[in-house]
Each structure stands twice: as C-alpha cells, then as structure tokens.
Structure 1
C-alpha cells in the first residue's frame, strides 16, 4: 500500500495509486485520509514550543497511524502481514532519510509488517504561540487511563518527581485521564492530544502501531520543558507491567503481532536509538519492566489513593465494544483481575463476563480464557522454560533471568485467578 503523507499545501492530491494523507488538516475528499487535524491548535493552546525534529517525529507517527488503519490485513497474502510504502513530508528530509532503515526496523517489529519510508521536503512546522510557556516539570509520564500508568504516576509524585502527564485522547477514557491528573499530588499539569486519524472505509482495527503516537506525544512535550531547553536530558516514563510489555505468546497460535508489542523492550530500545540518532535528549524509562501487575498494585506508594482510583481505570482490550465496560475475559482483563486478587483488595470493577469458570463460548470457552488455560497447562505438563520458548531471545532484551522470573510470577497470578473460578 502506497501513501503520500503531507500538508495539503504540498499539492499532489490525486497521485495515481497512492492514498493521499493530509497532515495537520482535514481530508478534502472521501478518497483521502488525514491525521493531526487538531494537534497543532492544541499545542499552540498549551503554548508549547517543541524541538523541530520532535515535530517531524510527530508527522511520522501520524502517518504511521493512518497506514495502520488504512491497510487491511485481510487483503494481505497471508491474511496478516501488510506492505507499506510511505512518502512523508518533513522539515529535514536529508536527516530522516538517513535513519529511515532504523524507523522501518522499529515499525516492522512493532506491527510485523514490511515498511519502506522516504522523506520529502514540505513538512509542516510546529505552531508558534503568541506567548511561549516553558513548563518547569522535570519529567514526562504517559497517562493512558489504565491501571499501570495510574500506579506509575502516583509513585513518581510520591518519590518527589514533578511529572507533566501526557495522554492520548481515547473515547471513553479522556474524563478519567483528567480525573487521575487532578487527584495526584494536588493536581498535575496535564496535556491531552489526539492524532485524529481518519481513513476511507473500511478500516483495519488491529491497531498494532498505536504506541508510536503516544511516544511521539510524550517526546514532543518533553522537548518543550524548561529543563530540556536548558540542555538537560528529560526522562519519559512508560509505566507498564512486565508481563504485558513482553506479552509472551500464550500458545503457539498467538505468535507475532497476534500478541501486541506496544511497550516491548525490543521496540522501545529501537525507538530510543532513533531519539539518539536525532539528537533528541529524551530517555525512555520503564520502571516496572520486572514487575507483575499485582506487584505494582501491592507496592504502590499511596495505597489509599490507589484504592479510590483503581476501579476507575481501564484495562480491557474491548472496552469500546462493550459500551465502555470491561469484558472480563480478554487477556488484559484477566491480568487485571489476577492483579486485584494478588493485591488482596476486592475488585469493584463491573465485568460483562464475570464467572470465567462457565464452560461456554462466552466464558471459559472464549479464546483468550482458553489460551491462558492452555499456557497454565503447558507449564504444568512441560515446564515453564519449554512454554516460554524464545520469548526472551530478542537481542535488545537485558536481564533475561530477571524477566524470566517476573513472567513466572505473572503466570502464577493468572493461575490463582483461574483456580478461583474453576477454569478447566
């Protein structure tokens, strides 16, 4: 699939064989796509002035979000792997063409698709606010509305850090993102941004590239901080439990992008390499890479606040599908429920499918419940290492023994959940 991603001013609106993507504007026809229509005004309203390459990185991430939505996996030869050929307008095409292979490698790992990327002149510049604000915070934390980022932000504030929290607006979560930011440390500065990716129908829903836009938002804001402008390196906190970050295939049928890689250490290492090559002084930190979700809850620095807010968080992979309710049976829901049990607190979350032990298509017979059960059975019958296989074999993964032990503990948490409900 070929895409031409540039502001409308570039022209070339009807190039044969290419999906025209209007960056930082609205699509002018149903055959076109767009992304970033609101982000320029949002950044201007926040009075932020990011680094030029951080803005180019946002243009790249917006383009990737459109490609991920417009490329239908069902139309690929194997029903999954897609091929993308992107032409993206940026302010420094010579530099970005030099690192295009690194970007393609990172995206290939993230989505298991094949990417070719070329950069051309004509990219939009960052907005110029009438009055510039250099935020005094000393770090940036991604706040999704999920339980892990909630715990991470609470812990950062309790440790004396002054995080500026950045959210990607997601339908059903924007209000709770605001609620969490207000509740922590007397109120944190909070920036909410959205890629607003719009593509011609039909739309692919696998969303394997979604973390790149969240990271790009975080990097953008980090480069606008006063400390960054003074020459400091700014930490960008990605708070995700280690089990979901590694997301080891539960069964042999869940390999590749059938298990998401949004916070996988291999991808984050490649993304960090890209920041280094770009001279962007932002360091990605993953403080819970060796923690299970249950351990994150038990060790959270402000237990009273967490008990108030935890049930308001979102974990479900099908939250919108079930009318903004947790399904209770997808893998993220099972990890969440197991974590509450490990924490030793009651879980007031309302789950559409509460009793996992019912052996039917909606409960124990559901694919994700069955996959967790098969993983537990495989560990019981063949041992943990045989089940784990090559999940930790990626070259950029450090501390394999530590991660292996964490994955074992996380699987134990899931085992207790299945035992509680009598899943067989």
Structure 2
C-alpha cells in the first residue's frame, strides 16, 4: 500500500498517515477480540494504543475518537496515543495532482451513480478504491468510462492477525476505506494550497441509516459506516486535528431506487448498473449476487423502481419458494417483518431510535426516506410473490 502511494508520487499530510494508523489499528483489534467471550456475548471493552507522529494533537481528541468508534461497532472503546509514529519515505518524484474532489469508488451501484453524477457536475475526481477480490477490474472499468476518465488508486490494507479464530462481525473495517480517501485528499494540489477537499461517500440513505429491520437486529448487526451520526463524529475528529477535508454523502435523503431514477447519465448507468455489485455475500457464491441478502433485496427493489430490466445474475432468483434457502431465509423474513411492522404499528415505531442523535438535523427528511425505502421493498416482495 505505502509503495503504491509512493509510486504515484503522492505525498499525504502527516495527520492523514496518523489517521490511517488509527484506522488500521482499530480494524486489527476489532478482529482479535471475539464478541462471544465478552460479558454479554456481544459488547466488548476495547483498549487501543496508537503510535502517532504528533501524539499530543491526537490525544486532544481521544474522547471524540472513543465515541465515534463506540457508535460504529457498539462496543466501549478507549484509545490513547503515544510517540513513535513514523512517516513513509517521500516519493522520489512528487506528482502534481489537479483533482478537486475525492470519491470512494467501490464497484458498487451507489458509488457508480455517485461518480457519474459528480463527473456530470464538472468535478475533477480522484477515485479511491479498496481492492476486494472480484471487484478490481470493475473499479478500473468504471473509472475509465465515467466522464473523461477518472484518476484512480486501488489500495488494500491487509490488516489481520495470525489468530486462527477471529471475530467475524468486523464493523470497523470500512473506516480504513475512509482513511484511504483522507490520505489521497491531503495529497491534492488544492489541499497543499490551503483549500478544503470534499470527500464523497455515495450511499443510499436507507443503507446509510440502516435501521434494524427487526428487534433481533440491534446494535452491531446493522452496519453504521455511512450513518450520518458516525460521519459527523469522524468529521469532528478530522477538523480538530487540522485535516482540511469535508465528508459528504449527497444521497443521504434518497432511496436506491431514487438514485437510479435521478442519475444524470441514464445511458452509462444502464450500461453498467447490472455489472455493479451490491451483495453482502458476493464472494461466497463464486462472485455472484446471492439475491436474498438485505443489500440484494434493496438492489432488486431499486431496479424495479427504476423501471428497467435488471440483468444481474442472482444465485437465488425466485424468492417465492417457501423454504429456508429462498423465501424463508432470515434476511427475506426480516424485510417482510419490517414491512408489516411499519404497516401495522406505524413507521415511527419501526424506526425506533435509529435517528435519535443531536448530530442529525434532517430527521424529518430521513424519516420520509426510510418510509419510501420500505415501500420499494414492499413492491419487490409483492412482485416476487413472497409468501
């Protein structure tokens, strides 16, 4: 990873390297401490000490970091900083990087739409991808074909431990993706000239808020990477340590179906939408969408709302089959329960405390978006005749 950055001639800020060190350490600790060994079988007390180039600067925001990581993983974090952080060698030849925007480009449908819309708006984009087996070539294809072509860097953290038994929930892992974006943003010419660089995390609002579909899916069973409260907390940390970036999710108030309908270039979206990825179990089914996990259901619902043919291959295509592999699979049942709960008990009761945060100032808009997202899922279940 470091060598790839050097080869590109990028020279990130010291604070950006420190943030990456924090992110890598958090992901590693998250994978070491198993939840089933904690007092309640889930919530852990995680203590982390990180070497930084300027530990005093980071120690001043320790409580904010603790709160952000605790919200992200629903554990109790205690992070401290110590001297010893080091900067990688400077590149032999510094590259001039004229992009004005950094965007995460995962190979997924939402980030594809985000990059299309940003390019259409005139932004000069530097795409950042976290390499995942099965998505590498797709990321490069999207970068090449969107707009006049995007600058792209593909990075992989490979943070892991040698322990044979690891914690698989890993709710912190995507913070490294965000750290990669901060690293690149601080390398841009405009950043070095004193400007603030926007970082775009393009995620539909339903997945970003990700309210637990059922009471059994509380806490860490619902990922919070793009949740507006988490992004606010991380933004506060970055501001406090002097990193001039602004994290934005322009689609926080839109469903996935609305993102597809309102995409600024329908032609390129139609060309690439079906080869983008959404599945939470993509590798498990030989790089094929399973068709039944929650992200797959939201994807299928968005194509239905878009009104165009979904050419995606799904391993479990016909969800009307009433067995444990299809309609009775727990994710399918969870969506069904959520739809019925909102219909019978009301949307607010179903949402629960998912939007309860003083850091969220658009609660009414997010509430309405969640209602529309559930309607899209309801129309999918009706169309598939899920029993």
d(CA) in 1 for partners of 2:94, 2:45:
41
Equivalent in 253, 256, 264 of residue 301 of structure 1: 264
* Residue equivalent to 2:290: 327
- Per-residue deviation at 1:186? 2.8
Pairs within 5 Å for 1:228-243: 228-243=191-206
* Residue equivalent to 1:258: 221
d(CA) in 1 for partners of 2:28, 2:349:
38
Q: Is the 8 A contact 1:338 1:413 kept in 2?
A: yes
d(CA) in 1 for partners of 2:17, 2:313:
40
Q: Is the 8 A contact 1:54 1:216 kept in 2?
A: yes
How many residues get paired?
Answer: 386
- Per-residue deviation at 1:78? 1.9
- Per-residue deviation at 1:261? 0.4
d(CA) in 2 for partners of 1:134, 1:65:
32
* Residue equivalent to 2:307: 344
* Residue equivalent to 1:401: 364
Is the partner of 1:116 in helix, strand or coil? strand
Pairs within 5 Å for 1:311-326: 311-326=274-289
Is the partner of 2:174 in helix, strand or coil? helix
d(CA) in 1 for partners of 2:75, 2:92:
42
Structure 1 runs of 4+ aligned residues shifted over 2 Å read none
Equivalent in 108, 128, 139 of residue 146 of structure 1: 108
* Residue equivalent to 2:90: 128
Q: Is the 8 A contact 1:49 1:127 kept in 2?
A: no
d(CA) in 2 for partners of 1:95, 1:388:
38
Superposed CA deviations along residues 363-406 of structure 1, whole A, max 9, x for unmatched, are: 11111100100011112212222222222112211211111111
- Per-residue deviation at 1:127? 3.0
d(CA) in 1 for partners of 2:89, 2:105:
24
What TM-score does the superposition give when structure 2 sets the normalisation length?
A: 0.98
* Residue equivalent to 2:118: 156
Which consecutive unaligned segments of at least 5 residues does structure 1 have?
1-38
**Larger RCO: 1 or 2 (CA < 8 Å, sep 6+):** 2
d(CA) in 2 for partners of 1:163, 1:328:
32
d(CA) in 2 for partners of 1:109, 1:360:
36
- Per-residue deviation at 1:76? 1.8
* Residue equivalent to 1:181: 143
Q: Is the 8 A contact 2:52 2:85 kept in 1?
A: yes
Pairs within 5 Å for 1:206-245: 206-245=169-208
Is the partner of 1:88 in helix, strand or coil? strand
d(CA) in 2 for partners of 1:81, 1:44:
39
d(CA) in 2 for partners of 1:342, 1:284:
28
What TM-score does the superposition give when structure 1 sets the normalisation length?
A: 0.89
Is the partner of 1:129 in helix, strand or coil? coil
Q: Is the 8 A contact 1:52 1:126 kept in 2?
A: no
2:367 matches 1:421: no
d(CA) in 1 for partners of 2:46, 2:247:
27
Pairs within 5 Å for 1:22-61: 39-61=1-23
Is the partner of 1:333 in helix, strand or coil? helix
2:95 matches 1:137: no
d(CA) in 1 for partners of 2:2, 2:351:
44
d(CA) in 2 for partners of 1:89, 1:385:
44
2:158 matches 1:196: yes
Structure 1 vs Structure 2 CA RMSD: 1.0
d(CA) in 1 for partners of 2:44, 2:133:
27
Is the partner of 1:318 in helix, strand or coil? coil
- Per-residue deviation at 1:141? 0.4
2:40 matches 1:78: yes
Superposed CA deviations along residues 225-284 of structure 1, whole A, max 9, x for unmatched, are: 000101111100010000000001111111111111010000000000001101111001
Equivalent in 352, 356, 381 of residue 344 of structure 2: 381
d(CA) in 1 for partners of 2:30, 2:315:
29
d(CA) in 2 for partners of 1:394, 1:350:
39
Superposed CA deviations along residues 135-180 of structure 1, whole A, max 9, x for unmatched, are: 1011100001110000000000011111100011111111111111
d(CA) in 2 for partners of 1:53, 1:126:
13
d(CA) in 2 for partners of 1:173, 1:73:
29
